[in-house]
């Protein structure tokens, strides 16, 4: 595993984030007041986050149908978190106390602990109020044949992009008073922790990318950018789950998914989810303009 070169301001930033983790620590097992049940006919997700938002389908569905859809889209969103967290915990655990990560490993301990707790409360919500977690249907992109420094960069880039998309949803739902307090609170608590994780991830991405650029030529860096592009696309498409549409009572869920993804207006929403991420990638020069996400 290639050593990570330290940037002058990275180590102090890590220490600040560690201090924040310690000073804002909460016990997740006593933090939430879980109601015995949640009624179906309520908003489980902010309406403007539904996959039908900004499409003709939103206008043809009744409020009751949209509320049902919001329940299952919330379950899908939390299920994606569960599976994503499990993957990122495995990858971080592989690197903790490894050569090149001496200065980051203490933060990794806090990260792993917090992510384990996030996985617990997302799973508890799904199982308590729906009795299931949607299975992981994501297509795995193999990094095993890549150079170790490229694989490291892509691992932490995946983690940070995943967290940024999730945090967009968390921030919106934490403030949405039309949602049940337990839904608001789960999203607010997750946002609090993810803000630290994203700050750390962005710093590490820039550091790893600087090291990559000194080792690999334009062709290899373009391939790295293409990988990141595919990961972003796959992450967005995972929000459109045919099992969700089936559970919400929508006929022909696979056709419904295809039609939604073909709606030009949905790209506007994807851009909204990814605005901060794309601005960071562009400003930091982490993606060549030839393969920046959404480039024509």
- According to the model, what pLDDT value does residue 100 have? 83
Residues of the chain with pLDDT under 70: 1-10, 139-144, 288-296
Nearest-10 crossing angle of helices 181-215, 218-237 = 170
Domains of the chain: 58-291 (1.10.620.20)
Find residue 179's DSSP bridge partners.
Answer: 43
Distances from the Cα of 240 to the Cαs of 91, 145, 166, in angstroms?
26, 30, 14
The encoded tokens of residue 270 equal: 């994807």
Give me the pLDDT at residue 172, please. 97
Q: Which residues of 155-179 are buried (b: 16+ CB within 10 A; e: fewer)?
A: bbbbbbbbbbbbbbbbbbbbebeeb
* Residue-level pLDDT at 147: 85
Per-residue model confidence (pLDDT) at position 174: 97
Kindly report the pTM of this predicted structure.
Answer: 0.89
């Amino acid at each position: 595993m290639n050593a990570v070169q330290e940037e002058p301001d990275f180590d102090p930033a890590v220490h600040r984030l560690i201090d924040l983790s310690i000073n804002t620590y909460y016990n997740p097992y006593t933090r939430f007041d879980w109601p015995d049940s949640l009624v179906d006919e309520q908003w489980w997700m902010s309406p403007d986050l539904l996959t039908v938002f900004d499409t003709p389908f939103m206008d043809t569905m009744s409020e009751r149908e949209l509320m049902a859809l919001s329940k299952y889209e919330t379950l899908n969103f939390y299920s994606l978190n569960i599976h994503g967290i499990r993957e990122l915990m495995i990858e971080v655990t592989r690197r903790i106390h490894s050569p090149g990560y001496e200065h980051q490993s203490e933060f990794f301990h806090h990260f792993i602990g917090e992510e384990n707790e996030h996985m617990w409360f997302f799973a508890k919500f799904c199982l308590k109020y729906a009795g299931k977690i949607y299975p992981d249907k994501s297509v795995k992109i193999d990094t095993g044949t890549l150079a170790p420094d490229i694989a490291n960069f892509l691992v932490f880039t995946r983690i940070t992009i995943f967290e940024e998309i999730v945090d967009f949803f968390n921030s919106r739902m934490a403030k949405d008073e039309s949602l049940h307090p337990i839904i608001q609170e789960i999203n607010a608590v997750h946002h609090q922790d993810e803000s630290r994780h994203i700050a750390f991830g962005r710093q590490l991405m820039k550091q790893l990318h600087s090291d990559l650029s000194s080792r690999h030529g334009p062709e290899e860096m373009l391939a790295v950018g293409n990988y990141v592009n595919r990961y972003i696309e796959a992450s967005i498409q995972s929000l459109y789950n045919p099992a969700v549409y089936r559970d919400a009572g929508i006929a022909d869920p696979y056709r419904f998914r295809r039609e939604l993804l073909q709606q030009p207006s949905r790209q506007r929403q994807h851009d909204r989810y990814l605005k901060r991420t794309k601005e960071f990638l562009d400003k930091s020069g982490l993606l060549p303009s030839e393969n920046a996400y959404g480039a024509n």
